[in-house]
Amino acid sequence: MDFDFQNIVTISVYGSAIALILIGIYAVLIKKHLIKIVIGMSLVDAGLHLLFVAIGYINNGTAPIFSPGYEDAATNMVDPVPQALVLTAIVIGFAVTAVALSLVIRLYKHHGTVRIDEIKSLKW
Amino acid sequence: MNTLALIILIFFSGATLAYLSSLISNKLPGWVALLTTMTGTVLFYMSFQNEQALSFSIIGLNLEWALDNYTILFAHIIFGLGILASLYSVQYMQNKSQQGSFYANFLLSIGSMFGIIISKDFISFFIFWEIMTWSSFLIVVWNGIGFRKNGIWYMAMSAIGAYAMLTAIVLINSEIGTYSLQAFFNAVQENAIDNLMLVSILLLIGFAVKAALMPLHIWAPRAYSNTPASYTSVFSGALSKMGVFGMGLVLIRVFRFSGLQDNFDYALVSQFTSHVLAWLGGITAAIATLYALVQKDAKKLLAYSSIAQLGYIVIGLAIGTKLAVMSALFLAIMHAVFKGALFMAVGAVERQVGTTDMTKISGLIRRMPWTFFVTLVSIIALAGVPPLSGFVGKWMLYEALITNGNFFLVVVVFFSSTAAFLYSYRILFGLFLGQEEDDTAHVKEAPATMVIPMVILALFLIVTGTYPGIVFEPIAHGMEYLGFTDVTWNMTVLSNVWGDSVNLQYVSTTIGVAFMLALIFLTFKGRKGTRGVSTKDISTSGEIPLEHENLTFQLDFFKPFERAAAPLYKRSITKIYEDVANGLEALFDFTRKIYTGNGQTYAIYVVAFLVTLLIVVQNML
Amino acid sequence: MKKFFVIALLAILGFYLTIAFLQIPFGQNRLGQPQDEATVGAYYLNNTKEKSAVSNVVTAIVVNYRGFDTLGEVTVLFLASTGLASILYRRKEEEVERINKPSSSLLQTGSKFLFPLVVLLGIYVFIHGHLTPGGGFQGGAIIATGFLLMLIAYQKYHVSHSMLTWVESLAGVLFVSIGLWGLITGGTFLENSYFPKGVLNSLISGGAIPIIYIAVGFKVAAELTGVLDILLNTKEEKSVPSNQNEK
Amino acid sequence: MIYVYTGAIVLLAMLLVYVALYAIRQKDLLYAVIATGVVSLILSIVFLMLQAPDVALTEAAIGIALTTIAFVITIRNTARYENDNAQSGFNNKKE
């Protein structure tokens, strides 16, 4: 692979997105503090959103909006579908985060701790 | 409408009706069951001469039902015992509750047994087999007590058998593409099945469970002793014969007449399997006899005795010569008759006295003379003593074993049938002979509807003791269906290859006369000079018994023998199964340790699984 | 130990993810020419202008082409706020003052000043959802931040829950009834053919799309405000003695 | 122009990873949460550069403002530092 600009951009965008996902999973799997786990979850979210948008990007493309004066720009627009999906996903992600945080609060009220290894009621 | 389908329909709708009628009155189901069995039986005997085949297809599966001579042989057992047992049952179950579910399952099991033997395809065979298993299981746990002790063993063993059978059926279908039994036999003839031995062994395991063969027998004593006696006679007499039915098909039609005898490997494996089965049958007979000896409960004793008798039958089928198969089928029918009679007799005692514990009962001979007569005849047949039909079967079995060269098996069979004398004497003595007790003085003979079926069975034993040809005829037809040719039999004369022969008419006449003389002598001798004392109070002999301590001679009846055989009783198969179950439980308990209670650990499992999947998909596919 | 295991797992996962995504060239045109309509994205780009008269293609997709998704999404938001309320449920007498210390007057004055502007911005964003970037979700979120400012600045400030419920319900009913009206008149749910299309790039254009996005904006604003209000009103817990904590 | 664009996007991507790592490693959860907000901020800029203004606006409104606030409220209700359990709220100082 020759290192022209295109490849650098490719690697940095995809790489940062994948790195965000992996960091998030790492936090979910290793960190003991429940809030850290929720942070990890939102990082995974962020990485996925970046990945989606990056897939839809086109070099030298424009945003999928027919601004006044540019009504015929359709040939040069980036893919709008991933953007619409991510738009939805961000809002849902907030809802999930909010519910997770409320569960954290609830667990803290119930168990007096936010450390996941001290909450053993999942034992079967 | 086809008669076969009609009979099945009658039994199954009779089961529903029996249950529904119990909602009206608890007395009705017994009569409904009797009526159903009678209708079915009459219908069968009216129409079985003109053979009717039936084939139809449901959801893409072709089901075939038909009668053949081998089937008819077993149908005699099922209907004969079924009708007598349902007649017996009406009075026997008189005051028991929940008769509806009992009779529903009773009829279901009889109907499904008939369904099994008429099935000519594996699908309906398996379905009827499962209906039979479930209905009998529900009767085993019917009284609601001892589910863990008795029912679970039956269910677990039946599940092993059913899974083995299902695997075999699926394998067969994958090889020949159809479920038809006839197609399977044809494929065996043409050597079209690759893993025939595996299939056969799996099928044999499935049948061996019901036939209570040695390592799989442990459910039988528990289940037999826990069912109401009116069903136990069917259970032990007919239902266990379904295993014999299937083993006969596999051992004879697949092993002996497969058309592959020239194939050396195949012949070797099939003969090896047959030998193993014969030995298992021999061991079953010997061990079960030993266990029967030490039972205190008459029903349990009979249960172990059933296992031993089934062992003989399996030996005969596994040896597979013409004479051996004939003796096995003869013993199968005779076992159904005398074991049915014995269970009915013990059930009558249970109903009249309230217990079957032989240490608590004695001297019922004057109170229940008919029951005593039936028991006497049946145990003579069971022990294989000349004038009755048990002797005929044993004679043929010995001859078959000796001519086939299985001398060790002869020793085993001889040993166990000698020991059978001991336990059959014990049951006769324990229940009927000996000192008459005060607390059984009020006991009366069982009602007529209970006595008549028993007496019919006993008379059948006496008649076939002299004229075994009555039974030989259907057996010979059945064996012709299995593939034997030129099956010869004689009405009254047993002859062997060495030129000796026994004329059963002379034998039974002689013994009958001697018996009559002895009876007359004993009747006139009376009871002069004997003084009755309570056997349960032995303070008169100088010992001071503790309160509630039973010291009758019925206890430790075979004490010296028991002491000699004690090491044998130590190793029980039950214990091995329990150890296996406990080991598995410990293993699963250990596996459960992956559930640490930490949610993160579970998440790690998920990710690890995902990564493993990725690696597998990327590198191996 | 566990850490290294997890890092190894993640390394493998990252390796495969990287391999997989390097096969998707970044920045290349995978849509094909819009005239070909080889992909669904190209179809949307090519047809939105004529069929919907909406200049923001993402809006057209979110509200019209994939409008059913959006309905599901606002349902999820509604469920989240309901779930939060039930998880953090508290009886009336347990309610306490939210914040211990009163806010500074700077914050209070600033919030009072900014609140109408923020709300106005939010309304602007979702009214112009079909013309400019943004729309119901963004505008709703902006309005929610405005309410958040007030909630933080004033201890006594309270959002009326019945008002939130009314706004949310009416917006939801509006959305669904427009969709059903499309079903009745046009044959498909959210069929956008019965309102005048208008001229591209003017405020009154795009048929039902601006109306739906306004409804979505109100609904999202009400839901997010409700979520924040519930979270903020949670009683500040002093540590609860629990046997798991005694070490 | 392409150089500036490329340089900016590479820089932002590296910054994204750095801030995310900071958020994970930081023991003070308040800082960690602010860092998560910064991740959203950078992400929003990156979205804008990738010609996705709608997504950028959404991320700005929800990711930066609302999510961060929700985290902060939760921290106020539970514990601020990763290592301690018993103490809650903002008022306790780190030992």
Band of residue B94 on the pLDDT scale cut at 50, 70, 90: confident
The number of CA neighbours under 13 Å toward the Cβ of B330 is 32
- pLDDT, tens digit, 9 for 90 and up, residues B524-582: 776 655 555 555 555 555 656 555 555 566 666 677 777 777 777 776 777 888 888 89
Band of residue B126 on the pLDDT scale cut at 50, 70, 90: very high
Q: Would residue C166 count as lying in a domain?
A: yes
Which pLDDT score, from 0 to 100, does residue B143 have?
Answer: 76
Tell the burial category of D87 from Cβ atoms under 10 Å away from its Cβ (0-12, 13-18, 19+).
middle
Average pLDDT over residues B363-381: 85
Average pLDDT over residues B346-363: 82
Q: How far apart are CA B88 and CA B145, in angstroms?
A: 23
Band of residue D94 on the pLDDT scale cut at 50, 70, 90: very low
Average pLDDT over residues B405-412: 85
Q: Which helix (H) or strand (E) holds B64?
A: strand B61-65
Which pLDDT score, from 0 to 100, does residue B492 have?
Answer: 73
Tell the burial category of D2 from Cβ atoms under 10 Å away from its Cβ (0-12, 13-18, 19+).
exposed
Q: How far apart are CA B51 and CA B63, in angstroms?
A: 17
Band of residue C246 on the pLDDT scale cut at 50, 70, 90: very low
Closest to C155 in 3D by CA, of C74, C101, C105, C95: C101
- pLDDT, tens digit, 9 for 90 and up, residues B444-467: 888 888 889 989 999 998 888 888
pLDDT above 60 (res A3): no
**Choice among A91-95, B274-278, B584-588 with the minimum mean pLDDT:** B274-278
Which pLDDT score, from 0 to 100, does residue C240 have?
Answer: 45
Longest distance between any two alpha carbons in chain C, whole Å? 71
**Choice among A47-51, B237-241, B497-501, B516-520 with the minimum mean pLDDT:** B497-501
Residue A95 · residue A54 · CB < 8 Å: no
Q: Which helix (H) or strand (E) holds B159?
A: helix B152-176
Share of chain B above pLDDT 70, in %: 91
Nearest CA to CA, how far is C184 from chain D (Å)?
Answer: 31
Share of chain B above pLDDT 90, in %: 10
* pLDDT, greater one: B35 or D93: B35
Which pLDDT score, from 0 to 100, does residue C118 have?
Answer: 93
Q: How far is CA B273 from CA B197, B198, B268, B270, B399, in A?
A: 9, 11, 9, 5, 22
Band of residue A105 on the pLDDT scale cut at 50, 70, 90: confident
Band of residue C239 on the pLDDT scale cut at 50, 70, 90: very low
Q: Would residue C188 count as lying in a domain?
A: yes
**Choice among B282-296, B597-611, D71-85 with the minimum mean pLDDT:** D71-85
Give residue B483's region: left, alpha or beta (phi > 0; psi -120 to 50). Answer: left
Chain D touching partners, 3 or more CB pairs below 8 A: A, C
Report phi then psi at B202, rounded to 5: -65, -45
Residue B481 · residue B70 · CB < 8 Å: yes
Which pLDDT score, from 0 to 100, does residue C94 have?
Answer: 55
Which pLDDT score, from 0 to 100, does residue B531 have?
Answer: 59
- pLDDT, tens digit, 9 for 90 and up, residues B182-220: 888 888 877 777 788 888 889 999 998 988 887 888 888
Q: How far apart are CA B37 and CA B29, in angstroms?
A: 12
Q: How far is CA D54 from CA B290, C30, C58, C145, C175, in A?
A: 88, 21, 7, 18, 21
Tell the burial category of B313 from Cβ atoms under 10 Å away from its Cβ (0-12, 13-18, 19+).
buried
Average pLDDT over residues B325-354: 88
Q: How far apart are CA B214 and CA B273, in angstroms?
A: 15
Average pLDDT over residues C1-7: 87
**CA quadruple B576, B577, B580, B582: dihedral sign:** negative
Which pLDDT score, from 0 to 100, does residue C180 have?
Answer: 87
Tell the burial category of C131 from Cβ atoms under 10 Å away from its Cβ (0-12, 13-18, 19+).
buried
Q: How far apart are CA B443 and CA B352, in angstroms?
A: 6
**CA quadruple B519, B522, B527, B531: dihedral sign:** negative
| Interface B:C, ≥3 CB–CB pairs < 8 Å | yes
Tell the burial category of B404 from Cβ atoms under 10 Å away from its Cβ (0-12, 13-18, 19+).
middle
Cβ separation C148–D62 shorter than 8 A: no
Q: Would residue C146 count as lying in a domain?
A: yes
* pLDDT, greater one: C32 or B96: B96
Which pLDDT score, from 0 to 100, does residue D85 have?
Answer: 47
Q: Would residue C16 count as lying in a domain?
A: no
Q: How far is CA B217 from CA B223, B308, B374, B574, B580, in A?
A: 10, 10, 27, 10, 16
Tell the burial category of C106 from Cβ atoms under 10 Å away from its Cβ (0-12, 13-18, 19+).
exposed
Number of domains in chain D: 1
Fold of A5-118: Helix Hairpins (1.10.287)
Band of residue A56 on the pLDDT scale cut at 50, 70, 90: confident
Cβ separation A95–C22 shorter than 8 A: no
Alpha helices, DSSP H, located in C28-160: 40-51, 57-59, 67-87, 105-127, 136-153
- Which of D9, D70, D74 lies at the smallest CB-CB distance from A13? D9
Which pLDDT score, from 0 to 100, does residue A106 have?
Answer: 85
Average pLDDT over residues C193-220: 83
How many beta-carbon pairs below 8 A join chains A and B? Answer: 30
Band of residue C242 on the pLDDT scale cut at 50, 70, 90: very low
Share of chain C above pLDDT 90, in %: 17
Q: Which of A14-23, B137-146, B264-273 has the highest mean pLDDT?
A: A14-23
pLDDT above 60 (res C243): no
Q: What letter would DSSP give residue A77?
A: B
Which pLDDT score, from 0 to 100, does residue D88 have?
Answer: 47
What does the mean pLDDT of chain C come to? 82
Q: Which residue of A has its CA nearest to C61?
A: A84
- pLDDT, tens digit, 9 for 90 and up, residues B588-600: 988 888 888 788 8
pLDDT above 90 (res C116): yes
Range of the domain at C205: 61-91+98-234
| Interface D:A, ≥3 CB–CB pairs < 8 Å | yes
pLDDT above 80 (res B501): no
B501-503 and B61-65: which strand pairing?
A: unpaired
Average pLDDT over residues D11-34: 91
Q: What letter would DSSP give residue B419?
A: H
Which pLDDT score, from 0 to 100, does residue B609 have?
Answer: 92
- Which of D10, D39, D74 lies at the smallest CB-CB distance from A8? D10
Residue B362 · residue B434 · CB < 8 Å: yes
Give the residue from C13, C17, C21, C23 with the most B CB atoms within 10 Å of its CB, the best one to mutate: C13
Residue A18 · residue A51 · CB < 8 Å: yes
pLDDT above 50 (res A7): yes
Which pLDDT score, from 0 to 100, does residue C157 have?
Answer: 78
Q: Which two tokens mark B557?
A: 């009846």
Cβ separation C224–D66 shorter than 8 A: yes
Report how far Cα B350 is from the mean position of its chain's Cα atoms.
21
Report how far Cα B314 is from the mean position of its chain's Cα atoms.
12
**Choice among B115-124, B136-145, B162-171, D7-16 with the minimum mean pLDDT:** B136-145
Which pLDDT score, from 0 to 100, does residue B110 have?
Answer: 92
The reply to whether B614 touches chain C by the CB within 8 Å rule is: yes
* pLDDT, greater one: B253 or B144: B253
The reply to whether B603 touches chain C by the CB within 8 Å rule is: no
Q: Would residue D88 count as lying in a domain?
A: no
Q: How far apart are CA B30 and CA B9, in angstroms?
A: 19
What is the crossing angle of helices B99-118 and B28-47, to 10°?
20
ipTM (interface pTM): 0.82
Residue A88 · residue C62 · CB < 8 Å: yes
